[in-house]
């Protein structure tokens, strides 16, 4: 099968910094490619769309799913992935982001970066002449949310008109879910303790995106109110990577925001449960829910592979 004839060039060369940067039909197309690549992989049909191409992976933040998904995904697409830790490159040890971008652009076909400061990704993309993929920053996590939307589509059949309740900290995953839901027409509620709301600028921009799709985006404090009518309950660790020093203090404020069986039963019957992982079992989510019949957490985790492949296939 010559899949190369079926993957459009319309997104070729584009950076993937945030779902906000893409039109609704472009997001839908990436999801379609991801699901098709998953089908081919499950059937053992080769799809070397990126044969001869190389992805540089800059990891300022450690990872399990992001690294494995990009590395395996690039292999399955017929290309090569090069892991670049802070010990391997000069970025952060004197060489500017600009110079790093200019050098890597001469040798690679794409760059994935997973780091702390979002501005670092923007700077890298500004100077790179090859696609830059945001593998996570403290502000946004777009590659995660492509996998999330694929998972919802697989389990619910459609996206528009569903309601997702995010229970917990208004963090980078919550931010990108706002953009993702806004683009595909899913309603989203973030239930979080006062003082832990999502970034106001992100919320405002997502609401602008939602004007086209009709999605309703809301932030409130009561998790029980948040899950009413929810088709998806989503949670994440209360203290994100780099916030470990705040974990004990946050735990006191977030105890009422645990996704447990009682909270799940307050959502729509058949609601699915999602978590971007890694999970602190017994904290933000109970074993009973995470290992229960309504959990799609590990389907969601697997879909990171297929989502990352889709992003690389359409942009590189």
Residue appearing with tokens 């794409």: 110
DSSP per residue, 195-254: T-PPPHHHHHHHHHHHHHHT--EEEES-HHHHTTT-SEEEE--SS-TT-GGGHHHHHHHH
User: Are 21 and 15 spatial neighbours (Cβ–Cβ below 8 Å)?
Assistant: yes
What's the token pair of residue 315? 């942009």
- Which three-class secondary structure state does DSSP give residue 111? strand
Q: How many secondary structure helices (H) and strands (E) does the chain include?
A: 12, 9
**What gap in Å lies between CA 74 and CA 62, rounded to an integer?**
19
Residue 187's φ and ψ, nearest 5 degrees, are -70, 145
Q: Identify the CA nearest to 237 among candidates 203, 266, 280.
A: 280
Within 10 angstroms of residue 167's Cβ, the number of other Cβ atoms is 26
- Residues known to be catalytic: 114, 141, 144, 236, 276, 304
How many alpha carbons lie under 13 Å from residue 222 in its C-beta half-sphere? Answer: 4
How many alpha carbons lie under 13 Å from residue 293 in its C-beta half-sphere? Answer: 3
């Amino acid at each position: 099968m010559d899949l190369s004839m079926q993957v459009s060039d319309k997104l070729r060369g584009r950076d993937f910094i945030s779902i906000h940067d893409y039109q609704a039909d472009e997001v839908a197309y990436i999801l379609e490619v991801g699901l098709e690549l998953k089908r081919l992989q499950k059937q053992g049909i080769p799809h070397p769309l990126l044969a001869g191409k190389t992805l540089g992976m800059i990891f300022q933040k450690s990872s399990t799913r992001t690294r494995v998904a990009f590395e395996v995904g690039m292999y399955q697409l017929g290309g090569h992935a090069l892991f670049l830790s802070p010990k391997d490159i000069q970025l952060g040890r004197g060489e500017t982001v600009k110079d790093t971008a200019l050098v890597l652009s001469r040798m690679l076909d794409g760059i994935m970066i997973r780091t702390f400061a979002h501005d670092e990704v923007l700077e890298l993309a500004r100077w790179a002449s090859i696609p830059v993929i945001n593998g996570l920053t403290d502000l946004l996590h777009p590659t995660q949310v492509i996998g999330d939307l694929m998972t919802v589509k697989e389990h619910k059949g459609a996206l528009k008109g569903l309601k997702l309740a995010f229970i917990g900290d208004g963090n980078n995953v919550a931010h990108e879910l706002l953009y993702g839901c806004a683009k595909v027409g899913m309603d989203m509620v973030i239930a979080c303790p006062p003082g832990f709301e999502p970034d106001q600028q992100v919320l405002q921009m997502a609401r602008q995106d939602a004007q086209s799709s009709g999605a309703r985006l809301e932030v409130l404090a009561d998790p029980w109110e948040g899950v009413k009518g929810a088709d998806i309950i989503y949670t994440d660790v209360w203290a994100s990577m780099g916030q470990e020093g705040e974990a004990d203090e946050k735990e006191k404020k977030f105890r009422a925001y645990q996704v447990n069986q009682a909270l799940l039963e307050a959502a729509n019957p058949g609601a699915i449960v999602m978590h971007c992982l890694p999970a602190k079992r017994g904290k933000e989510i109970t074993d009973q829910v995470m290992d229960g019949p309504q959990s799609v957490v590990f389907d969601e985790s697997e879909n990171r592979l297929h989502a990352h492949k889709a992003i690389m296939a359409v942009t590189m």
